[in-house]
Structure 1
Amino acid sequence: MTTNPQVETVSTGADKAKLVAAGLLVVGAVVAFYLLGRQDLWLRVGALLLILAAAVALFFTSENGKQLIAFGRDSVREVKKVVWPTRKEAVQMTAYVFAFVVVMALFLWLTDKTLEWVLYDLILGWKR
């Protein structure tokens, strides 16, 4: 049995500064959007998108951003390993699920009506 070693990431001061700067850029983008309220909409949206792009670029230069990119690459690699069902298999499994749902619905409806009849008509004697 193998044990996976615990991986600890150590954030440097530069990484923390990059994350704080990226956060401040996001806040600055929203502030700039509202400060340019008297300008044309295209200018406001352009400034917002430009500053947000700078924040994203700064985030991806930090260690957390690099880990996020690595996670995305690993996810794509894993998805490529998946053996996807054929169309026939997918249709068959979908039909099985629908059939099971119908059978279960009928069973629950029958159980409900039986309990209703036993409780209200036989035990309590309520007639509708």
Structure 2
Amino acid sequence: MANPSVETVNTSSDKLMLVVGVLLVLAGFVGFYWLGSQEWYVRGAALAVGVIAGVVVGLLSAPGKSFIGFAKDSYKEVRKVVWPTRKEATQTTLVVFAFVLAMAIILWVCDKSIEWVIFSAILGWK
């Protein structure tokens, strides 16, 4: 059964939260440059506080919560992946290289054959 379609309702409060989140991130950057004469850790703290606060506010909105759900589901799916062993990866890589080399040789032979037919046989150039 296919996934049912989900209707997302974006309320004005969700949009406002996203705007506030973006403004907090921008405030962190503005604070970083506005405090240019301060020590590096004061400037870094202003930047970190702004960015962290903006991300937290953004993640508390409905789109942020759906992103968190998506990230959790993606993590679960990645854990299900069966990764190849080192031997399997090496063998696959060697097969790919061999195929590429064979195709390069075949294409070179085709190219030189067509070149010979056109320039030597048809046009008579040496």
Same fold (TM over 0.5): yes
Task: Give the 4+ runs in structure 1 shifted more than 4 A.
Answer: none
The C-alpha deviation readout for 1:86-112, integer Å capped at 9, x for no partner, is 332222211111110110111111111
Measured after TM superposition, the shift of residue 124 of structure 1 is 2.0
| AA matched with 2:116 | W
Aligned to 1:67: 66
Matches of 2:2 and 2:80 in 1, distance apart? 24
Alignment correspondent of 1:27:
26
Letter in 2 for 1:33: F
User: Contact 2:28–2:50 at 8 Å: present in 1 too?
Assistant: yes
Cα separation, 2, equivalents of 1:35 and 1:20: 22
Looking at structure 1, the residues matched to 43 and 124 of structure 2 have their Cα atoms a distance apart, in angstroms, of 72
Summarize the Cα distance change of 1:3–1:75 in structure 2 as closer, same or farther, 3 Å threshold.
closer
What residue is the counterpart of 1:46 in the other structure? Answer: 45
Q: Residue 106 of structure 2 aligns with which residue? A: 107
TM-score (norm 2): 0.89
> 1:112, 1:46 → 2: CA distance?
62
Q: Given the superposition, is the C-alpha separation of residues 78 and 3 from structure 1 closer, same or farther in structure 2, using an over 3 Å criterion?
A: closer
1:14-71 deviation digits (Å, cap 9, x = unpaired): 2111101001112212222221222233322221111101101111111111111111
Q: RMSD of the alignment, in Å?
A: 1.6
Residue pair 2:25, 2:54 contacting (<8 A) in 1 also: yes
CA distance in 1, matches of 2:115, 2:35: 66
Unaligned runs of 5+ in 2: none
Residue aligning to 2:119: 120
Give the Cα separation in 1 of the matches to 2:123 and 2:90. Answer: 48
CA shift for structure 1 position 3: 4.4
